[in-house]
A and B are shown apart, each in its own frame.
Chain A
């Protein structure tokens, strides 16, 4: 990596900008969630308030976009270690999958409800796995956020042990990934994805980030991986994260 003072200053600047922006995004997404949650519980008292309900889909879309922004910023902050400061302190802890799923569900609940999308959970709640909770929650929530955008009405989150690996799946019943994305997913899953520039297309950063997160998880000479496929139990796109 380029280690000149200039690049160092730039990465510091980028990181601190991203950091600062996260504060605003936090407030934005928090406020949107609150508004959406309130709107969902409040019964329209009179015909006057009915038009307010018409704005709900737009607000849900705003929340979706806010989430995307935040994901991007989180990825920038986590990945900027490659250029210089600040570093992400990778921190593996044992965690029951029930608690992992609970957090992902909590993050996505309002958006799912606002979009009228059903989330199927298929999780072995007592199974304990060793992982960096914040990174994995981030990857899964990003994947669900995507699935919400492409699914017809259902998203499925599955977490199971498979041949000594933890397989985390986010599936939808949309039209599936186009061929170019499946290919990008296959490359991202390989150990030597270094030569490919994921940052040139709009979905690349998320995939690159997920692959990086997977790769950071290592155990007895194995490291995690991601892949994209079509089909699964719901017949649409599937995002698969495997951790050793």
Chain B
């Protein structure tokens, strides 16, 4: 096709005018750059757009201070900000602490792109990158583009924030039909939503649809993640390695590859992969923590120490910093017979994290006991164990599963019996249908030379949970809805973390709402149960489905234009697998 006669096109009209023009003059702007010349230049550019409200910060800390006081519409932030927080950390903190609105446009203005933030490894991504030097026109082009894209994604983001993933996915479909330009981003979003909804088959179809168009590594990696979720670890490993061969800076693939190696029973390979990922992109708190943990497990004390120390260093200015690195490094110090530093680290962990995470005190005490125990100081280990038993008696709430298991192990080792057995039975009651976890519990009994007692205890605790579950299903099936609702409250007390029983409880409340009409209190109860289950183990299909059913029961929530769901008004039964093995 011969090109048309080239009439000079008026500048800036190469793009057809979009429906709505944005009023950039009235917005509030924040410029973050450590270089005063760049700040002045950006300010001049914004003034040319008519902007009147422009604040400036010369460091990440200063930026956070301003963000905490003012809601900005647009943030222009450099990546490199000298000492202190970097631009990515400012963004992460702003998002985690809700210092910005979902509608806030966050642009990274930098001399270069950072691998970490572009390659999908960062959890919190900016809306766009601008490479210096930028001109006014460039700034305006990207601002408009981000704004238009945000309009497309706004209802979807809202549905995600409400954890209504299936509704969000339908909104993606509607948006694709309306805005072909964002098709790929919308498909990527939809695939993630399907994964989060426990529907990997549908996510896989989307990734394959993308790959039929163009070889996008994120779609390849998405397929591999689904294979991994299906237990096809070897195939997943091959795909991740293929992705890395194509793009050796696709950091996320390294982290996933390490998980695949671990599932394949090759922790050394996993550790090596994490090590090379940490070399390519050392500033991720999560990666250094995972590397430290794995190295510690493998007995590579030197590597674990390096990783945990790096984790603490990169976490210093980050909202992502974690007590795990302090606890892990304390274990390392214990194994190096440096009790003094170990104890200092445990104090630091409680000082820095104890306010926000009450479980840190308990976990620090467990680590202290392990440090004493591993360095052969059995008297002090026993004292720690006694304190732990006191703490457990004082607080009725039990910690998460890994902490419970670690605690039971320590208490057994320190010569205790009743408390660790009670803890392990608690774990079993709340996870009565998780065979891998039950095996792990049995191994802890074995190690404490209580193998036979373990078998009896585990069987008893499982039966308790199964009986409780059957009781609820029976009440529901025989139409005793009021008694079934009473059962849900009892069940939540008896097994606060048993996901299957909690799902059944939510299902019973939904049924009650479906049959008796809306009730704000019952509805809130159902949401509370579902959000709790999601925090225990995200990405379950029943969660998405129950959220969907519950969402439809809210008065005034019928959106027009949205495809109606499949099973309107259909009452689904609670999960029914009465078993009493």
Contacts and interface: CB of A to CB of B under 8 A. Distances in A.
Interface of A: 18-19, 22-27, 29-31, 33-34, 70, 74, 77-78, 86-94, 96, 98-99, 101-103, 105-107, 109-110, 118-123, 125-126, 128, 130, 134, 138, 156, 158, 160, 218-220, 233
B113 A30 contact: no
A74 B132 CA distance: 9
Contact of B249 (A26, A90, A102, A219): A90
15 contacts: A19-B80, A23-B35, A25-B133, A27-B35, A27-B41, A27-B133, A70-B133, A77-B111, A78-B112, A99-B14, A106-B136, A109-B135, A120-B9, A121-B14, A126-B16
B4 interface: yes
A120 B8 contact: yes
Contacts of A77: 111-112
A60 B4 CA distance: 32
B37 interface: yes
Given A103-B137, A106-B137, 18 more contacts: A22-B112, A23-B132, A26-B132, A27-B35, A27-B38, A77-B111, A87-B115, A89-B114, A96-B15, A96-B181, A106-B11, A109-B135, A122-B9, A125-B15, A125-B16, A130-B214, A160-B1, A219-B214
Contact of B131 (A18, A24, A74, A87): A74
B184 A134 contact: no
Contacts of A218: 215
B286 to A, nearest CB: 19
B3 A158 contact: yes
Contacts of B129: 134
A91 to B, nearest CB: 5
A21 to B, nearest CB: 9
Nearest to B132: A26
Contacts of B21: none
Nearest to A18: B111
Contacts of A88: 112-113, 249
Given A23-B35, A220-B215, A91 B113 contact: yes
B44 interface: yes
Contact of A94 (B9, B136, B184): B184
Nearest to B214: A130
A13 B136 CA distance: 31
Contact of A106 (B1, B6, B135, B183): B135
Which bracket fits the contact residues of B?
A: 35 or more
Contacts of A105: 11-12, 14, 137
Contact of A118 (B4, B8, B216): B8
Contacts of B119: 89, 91
Interface of B: 1, 3-4, 6, 8-9, 11-12, 14-16, 35, 37-38, 40-41, 44-45, 80, 111-115, 118-119, 129, 131-138, 141, 145, 180-181, 183-184, 214-216, 247, 249, 280
A93 B137 CA distance: 21
A160 B8 CA distance: 16
Contacts of A220: 215
A187 B415 CA distance: 76
Contact of B113 (A125, A134, A219): A134
Contacts of B8: 118-121
B137 A86 contact: no
A136 to B, nearest CB: 12
Nearest to B139: A106
A30 B41 contact: yes
A102 to B, nearest CB: 5
A118 B114 CA distance: 36
A34 to B, nearest CB: 7
Contact of A122 (B3, B40, B113, B132): B3
Contacts of B112: 19, 22, 77-78, 86, 88
A32 to B, nearest CB: 10
Nearest to A16: B80
Contact of A26 (B6, B12, B133, B136): B133
Nearest to B131: A134
A235 B114 CA distance: 41
* Leading 5 A-B pairs by shortest Cβ distance: A106-B137, A26-B133, A27-B37, A89-B118, A22-B111
A99 B145 contact: yes
Nearest to A78: B112
Contacts of A94: 181, 183-184
A89 B249 contact: yes
Contacts of A96: 15, 181
A22 B79 CA distance: 13
A91 B138 CA distance: 19
Contacts of A128: 180-181
A111 B134 CA distance: 14
A44 B136 CA distance: 25
A178 to B, nearest CB: 26
Contact of B44 (A34, A74, A118): A34
Given A26-B38, A96-B181, A106-B138, A160 B3 contact: yes
A105 B183 CA distance: 26
Contacts of B6: 120-122, 156, 158, 233
A125 B12 CA distance: 12
Nearest to A218: B215
Interface centre among B80, B115, B119, B141 (most CB of A within 10 A): B115
Contacts of A19: 80, 111-112
Contacts of B247: 90
B9 A26 contact: no
A128 B183 CA distance: 11
Contacts of B141: 99, 102-103, 106
Contacts of B134: 26
A23 B78 CA distance: 11
Contact of A23 (B111, B115, B184, B216): B111
Nearest to B138: A106
A41 B138 CA distance: 20
A44 to B, nearest CB: 22
Contacts of A30: 41, 44-45, 133, 135
Contacts of A118: 8
Nearest to B113: A89
A27 to B, nearest CB: 4
Nearest to B10: A121
A102 B37 contact: no
A26 B138 CA distance: 13
A107 B113 CA distance: 19
A136 B316 CA distance: 37
Contacts of B15: 96, 98-99, 102, 125
B454 to A, nearest CB: 50
B118 A91 contact: yes
A94 B185 CA distance: 9
A109 B141 CA distance: 14
Contacts of B38: 23, 26-27
B283 to A, nearest CB: 12
Contacts of A119: 8, 11
Given A26-B38, A89-B113, A128-B181, A106 B9 contact: no
Contacts of B80: 19
Nearest to A130: B214
Nearest to B280: A87
Nearest to A19: B111
Interface centre among A26, A29, A78, A107 (most CB of B within 10 A): A26
B58 to A, nearest CB: 13
B479 to A, nearest CB: 54
